[in-house]
Amino acid sequence: MKQQYKSYQQTCEFLAECVSKYPDLIKTESIGKTWEGRDIMLATISLNVENADLKPAMLFTGTIHAREWIGNELAVSFIDYLLMNYSSNPKVLKTLTKNTLYIVPCLNPDGFEYSKKHFSFWRKNRRDNGDGTFGVDLNRNFSVGYQKSKDTASNVYSGPNPFSEPETLAMKKFVDGKDNITIALDYHSQGNVFFPAHKFNHEEEIEGTDLNTLCANMNYEIKKVTGRRYGIHRGKPPTKLISGSGREYYYSRGIMAAVVEVGTRNIPDFMQNMQESIDENIPALLRTLGEAQNYSKQAPSRVSNFHIENYTADEVTLSWDYEYNKDVFFQIFRNTEDKESCTEANLIAETYNTFFTDIQLQSGTNYHYFIRCVNNLTKVKSPFAPKVKIKTLLDADEFSKTIFSAPNEIGYVASKLLETNRKHFGLNSLFIGVNENKGTSYGVMQFDLDGIPENAIIKDVRISLYPLNRVNVKIEKFGEWSMSIVDKETVSELYDYEQIHNANLLETLGQTIPSEKLTQGIWCHWDLNSTEKNVLQTQLREKKVLFKISGPTELPEGRDSQMMMFDLGYGNFGGGIHYRPSIDIKYTIPSQEIVIDVLKTTSISVDKIEQDELICGFDANNEKIYGLMEFDLSPLPNPEETIITDSYIQIKNKSATKTKEDIRYNVEFVDVDDATCDSIKNRDRIEFIGYEVSRADLQKNKTHKFIFDHYSKLALEDVHRENKIAKFVIRPTYSDIKNHIVKWHGKDSNNSVKLVVNYIKRRKEPIESISNLSLSLENDKIKLNWSNPNNEDFRGVYVVRNRFHIPKNHLDGDKIYAGKDNYTYDDFGNKNIAKYYSVFAYDNVPNYSEPLYVAHLKKEDDVAQI
């Protein structure tokens, strides 16, 4: 028989049947009566259900909005799943042994019945407002952030006062009466997105990492079932935050709360879509139910002061504070993407220490670190400390640029909006895809490549866009979004739909984003492969690169929209600088070659020192003869800007005494004061130069290249920096032969000894920090002032905010400003919340200086240097 949506009555009957079959596992109660006299049913599920209230609990609420049937349907399926599996599935058994589920399948029975029987699109309850209109939006009728409204006909009418409705009042009474609830999930449709709770601040909360991770870990389970990825979005400035909702009420009581918006339609095709939504959410619900204990009183407390101790191009050391407890160890998780899960898959360390060094990382790459602790006896885990973000240092020869489009070079062009397409540039959002109002719509982004040398060698490229579809942008499961590099010759006007539509594409990036992965609140990235990088390379000469972003162009029968919205970062509704689309390019530049003739050669044996000769071997007493080569590095540019990419010493041999012994010769990089036999014998060896010449080589080749390894190149840079003469010794390896000599061409020969150095010009060290950092309040906003360093390599400052620890990396927090000014306002920060701001100065590489930080609302000195 075809499965169809359960009615309120069928749900009540289902619950009664469960109780009669599994009285030890489930009990039910009516927590209140609706205006029309229906019972609001709540089920409690736990192993030995009579003890349920003693265990940490998760609260599930469904169908608070009448037309969002998924809530009731998922609740019925989840209850059924738990009861059917507790005896056969160890995970279900374990979860129900330690945790309790409180579940209200349908919080709005009157509205739900009205929606099922009469008007499917009904949202509110069925209160008679007395003026001919009906209904209150129950999810605006809770007390936290409640906003009074007079428009009773509105779909979001909040009711005469908070908790005026029997449904919300029943929830309040139930939740207020239970102190064991630690997690609350409120199920809605549609959008395939999680909305974690907020405190009406556009700032991180101490539980922010927990809330995001709870959702990300649900995503981890969802992905295993259907491959889908839900969005995770707390709402961001200046978007109006939802007020008077259940979620914020639960959160205000210390409960981790989130709304889950499921599916792409309120009332989808059951077999095709609803079953999929249910199946993907059940493992996610089970995982979250198991987390209830980790937010309870049994849980260890969270780690404090989790921060970056130091970092290089390939290592990061983290440290944290914790009151010693021999039973508690720490788990560290690492992600490279935004809002990813913390599960077995990315657990990188377990330790009893309060520090950890992560190794073998990529240079110039973003990493996110998470930490929680585990009680080894009870296995109960702590909440997460606020996460730490970092970008590792660039390698010595690398440069990077993050480029944003100018406002007039980013926007969308739509086939049905030919007259207004020009106005879509630099304003609010990119709409990409197809719908009935806009027709086909493409995103257009042009980036200025002026700051990158034409001959740059591109190493890595990442394009980033921030998707933000809210309810008015539907994404069903079809189509994909792709990015192409456009031949600029074929586009003279970015605003011209026809030109963009018909543009010649140089390359469409192989990576596309299918609809089920494209979701709001999580950055979308395109990482270019080598063919695509080569195409971008050709655009360096053009000084600009133009991208076209395409989505689906056709709609199936009965669908009206498949349109994705991305933040553009400009305009009143744009999210600001933090959310602007960008292209990140990591590159190096071709090296230059310099040939340095030898300054001096000396041959040194026990009884003889000969200038301008280069001889090595053994004398009549089997004592070694050494050849010393000295080079003056002053033809190289300023050592602070010289990165040696390759180097070798080239020597030619004149003659050698014949022998059958396997003698080998090698070159050492040495530190000696003078050319005497004693100092050579007692030399400080810096490094072997990586090549050795055998007797056979001497016979075969006349020219020999002694090639520097990585360490020798660094040593050569050091000698250059110290303004010293670089000295090398050529010598035979051990042998007991006598009277064996190799003559090399010395200083006076035509083919004299050479040091060949390939190098690039690049600053090694950051410029000096900013100074005079101060904080003030101006027009009710926090304002930061500072003095920029007076250095010709100064390119700008980067300002970052963090509520929990001093940012020691420019990515470790919310970006407030990047540019050349000497002040900025924090447009979104709450002036009543304590926090840190760090300001980094950067050069053209960029290398970031040591930060200066300022604490807002802290007792310490206002400004202090780290």
> Among residues 62 and 551, whose Cβ is nearest to Zn ion?
62
Nearer of residues 234 and 762 to Zn ion, judged by Cβ: 234
CA distance between the termini of the chain: 70
3-state helix, strand, coil in the chain (%, to 5): 20, 35, 45
190 upstream amide cis, omega within 30 of 0? yes
Taking CB under 5 A as the criterion, the residue among 6, 55, 65, 368 binding Zn ion is 65
* Minimum gap (Å) between residue 497 Cβ and Zn ion: 35
In terms of DSSP H, where are the helices of 261-300?
275-291
Q: 587 by DSSP, 3-state: which?
A: strand
Q: Which stretch binds Zn ion (CB under 5 A): 64-72, 480-488, 681-689, 814-822?
A: 64-72
Reported as type and span, the H/E element at residue 411 is strand 410-414
**SS3 at position 504:** coil
Taking Cα atoms as reference points, which of 784, 785, 702, 800 lies closest to residue 743?
702
Nearest distance from residue 65's CB to Zn ion, in Å? 4
* Site stretch for Zn ion (CB under 5 A), options 57-65, 106-114, 215-223, 323-331: 57-65
Residue 511 neighbours by CB under 8 Å, 6+ apart: 483, 526, 527
CB burial readout 425-439, b (16+ within 10 A) else e: bbbbbbbbbbbeebe
Number of helices (H) and strands (E) in the chain: give both, helices first.
13, 47
| Least distance to Zn ion, CB of residue 247, Å | 11
Residue 45 or 242 having the CB closest to Zn ion: 242
Is the CB of 62 or the CB of 851 nearer to Zn ion?
Answer: 62
- Residue 127 contacts residue 35 (beta carbons within 8 Å): yes
The nearest distance, CB 417 to Zn ion, in angstroms, is 30
Contacts of 828 (CB under 8 A, 6+ apart): 202, 203, 237, 238, 576
Shortest separation between residue 71's beta carbon and Zn ion, angstroms: 8
Nearest distance in Å: CB 137, Zn ion: 9
| Residues 130-134: contacts with CB under 8 Å, at least 24 apart | 133/157
- Tell me how far the alpha carbon of residue 431 is from its chain's centroid: 24
For residue 851, what is the DSSP state? Answer: P
CB of 229 to Zn ion, least distance (A): 21
Which 3 state secondary structure label does DSSP give 381? strand
Residue 68 Cβ, how far from Zn ion at the closest point, in Å?
5
Q: Give the strands of the sheet with 304-311, arranged side by side.
A: 304-311, 316-321, 355-358
Q: How far apart are CA 699 and CA 137, in angstroms?
A: 93
User: Of 266 and 335, which has the nearer Cβ to Zn ion?
Assistant: 266
Residues 148-207 that bind Zn ion (CB under 5 A): 188
Place of tokens 């709005």: 108
CB of 266 to Zn ion, least distance (A): 8
Site size toward Zn ion, by CB under 5 A: 3
Residue 347's SS3 state is: strand
Q: Supply the DSSP symbol for 134.
A: B
Would you say 84 or 471 has its CB closer to Zn ion? Answer: 471
Tell whether residue 704 is a contact of Zn ion (CB under 5 A): no
The residue among 52 and 70 lying less far from Zn ion, judged by its C-beta, is: 70
- Provide, rounded to whole angstroms, the least separation between the CB of residue 251 and Zn ion: 17
- What is the x/- site pattern for Zn ion, positions 541-570, by CB under 5 A? ------------------------------
The nearest distance, CB 155 to Zn ion, in angstroms, is 10
Token couple for 32: 């209140």
What is the smallest separation between the CB atom of 212 and Zn ion, expressed in angstroms?
21
Smallest distance from Zn ion to CB 125, Å: 13
At its nearest, how many Å lie between Zn ion and the CB of residue 59? Answer: 17
In the structure encoding, which two tokens stand for residue 101, read together?
A: 């589920």
65 vs 389 by CB, closer to Zn ion: 65
User: Hey, which residues between 66 and 95 contact Zn ion (CB under 5 A)?
Assistant: 68
Give 65 or 247: the residue with its C-beta nearer to Zn ion.
65
**Minimum CB distance to Zn ion, residue 44 (Å):** 24
Min dist CB 839 to Zn ion, Å, is: 42
Please identify, using beta-carbon distances, which residue of 188 and 488 lies nearer to Zn ion: 188
Which residue shows structure tokens 């010769």? 665
Distance CA 602, CA 609 (A): 7
65/683 with CB nearer Zn ion: 65
Three-state DSSP class for residue 115 = helix
Nearer to Zn ion, 188 or 202 (CB): 188
- Write down the least CB distance from residue 138 to Zn ion, Å: 9
Q: Are 645 and 758 in contact (CB under 8 A)?
A: yes
Half-sphere exposure of 441 (CA within 13 A, CB side): 25
CB of 446 or CB of 520, closer to Zn ion: 520
Nearest to 589 by CA among 848, 845, 849, 842: 845
| 3-state DSSP assignment of residue 672 | coil
Rounded alpha-carbon distances, angstroms, from residue 436 to 43, 441, 595, 836? 43, 11, 67, 47
- Convert residues 651-670 into a mask of x (bound to Zn ion by CB under 5 A) and - (unbound): --------------------
Pairing of strands 814-819, 823-826: unpaired
- 190 or 588: whose CB is closer to Zn ion? 190
Nearest position to Zn ion, beta carbon: 188
Nearer to Zn ion, 188 or 835 (CB): 188
Q: Which is nearer to Zn ion, 260 or 393 (CB)?
A: 260
Which of 138, 318 has the CB closer to Zn ion? 138
Which of these segments, 15-23, 59-67, 226-234, 811-819, binds Zn ion (CB under 5 A)?
A: 59-67
The region of 60-68, 140-148, 303-311, 650-658 touching Zn ion under the rule CB under 5 A is: 60-68
Report in angstroms how near the CB of residue 262 gets to Zn ion at its nearest.
10
Kindly tell me which of 120 and 733 has the beta carbon lying closer to Zn ion. 120
Secondary structure string (H, E, C) spanning 205-264: CCCHHHHHHHHHHHHHHHHHHHCCCCEECCCCCCCCCCCCCHHHHHHHCCCEEEEEECCC
* 754 vs 746: CA distance, rounded Å: 10
The full DSSP string for 721-767 is HTT-EEEEEEEE-S----SEEEEE--TTSSS--EEEEEEEE---S--
The span of 65-73, 201-209, 373-381, 702-710 binding Zn ion (CB under 5 A) equals 65-73
Stretch that binds Zn ion, among 58-66, 237-245, 503-511, 608-616 (CB under 5 A): 58-66
Which span sits near Zn ion by CB under 5 A: 61-69, 293-301, 303-311, 399-407?
A: 61-69
- Summarize as ranges the residues that interact with Zn ion (CB under 5 A): 65, 68, 188
